[in-house]
Amino acid sequence: MNLPTLPRTRRSRFFRTLRYRLVIPMLRTRRSPEYLARGTMLGLILAFTPTTGLHSTLVLAIWFIADRLFKWEFSIILALAWVWVANVFTVVPIYYLLYVTGQMMLGHFNDFSGYARFTHLWQRMHVGDLTLWQEVELMTKIMVKDWGLAMCLGSIPWAAITGALGYWLTLSSVRTYRHRRAERRHRRAQLRS
């Protein structure tokens, strides 16, 4: 009996593409697990800094400088993929997290603007009826004067924690995958003999 198949959704196609274009090549590459883990670490560190809009440019600049000057290599593909943790859908919650953390680090425990006010100001920065100069002026005032110090300071622990966690998880995942793959190959070789 043939069961009807459901059409693939965009979401399942996205995750399938992600798996076959990013995850599997990452696991099967001949590069060291440390090379891959450094890419994940750098991407997550940059994702949790208040530099949205510059993330990809920063990854490319760091890759160029690290490779040319320090001979420090990392997976630029993984760094670019992980930097997009801070995307158009997640940037406001991440920025608010950085802001609140920074306010707490500064000792301003009763100076939290509330998430609703924070998102209102964020949306106000991106209103279409402002001229480009007015938008840049407003964004500069809010990001530098009002939120800047708190967000920059608050990004330090989150960038360190997510970077370290990403490095460790990638390193252990790749090593575990390669160990299990080597064991499977060894068992197959024994069965053939």
Q: What is the pLDDT of residues 33-73, one digit of tens each?
A: 999 999 999 999 999 998 877 888 999 999 999 988 888 89
Q: Can you read off the two tokens belonging to residue 118? A: 């924070």
179, part of any domain: no
What 8-state DSSP symbol labels residue 19? I
124, part of any domain: yes
21, part of any domain: no
86, part of any domain: yes
48, part of any domain: yes
Say what the pTM is.
0.78
How much of the chain, in percent, has pLDDT values that exceed 70? Answer: 83
Q: Can you read off the two tokens belonging to residue 69? A: 């000057």
2, part of any domain: no
**Total domains in the fold of the chain:** 1
Domain of residue 155, residue span: 33-174
Average pLDDT, the chain: 83
d(CA 92, CA 13): 27
78, part of any domain: yes
Check residue 193 and give its pLDDT: 79
Tens digit of pLDDT for each residue in 172-183? 999 999 999 999
User: What burial class does residue 23 get, using C-beta atoms within 10 Å of its C-beta: 0-12 exposed, 13-18 middle, 19+ buried?
Assistant: middle
Reply yes or no on whether the pLDDT at 111 is more than 70.
no
d(CA 87, CA 77): 16
190, part of any domain: no
Question: 23 vs 40, 78, 107, CA distance in Å?
Answer: 12, 9, 42
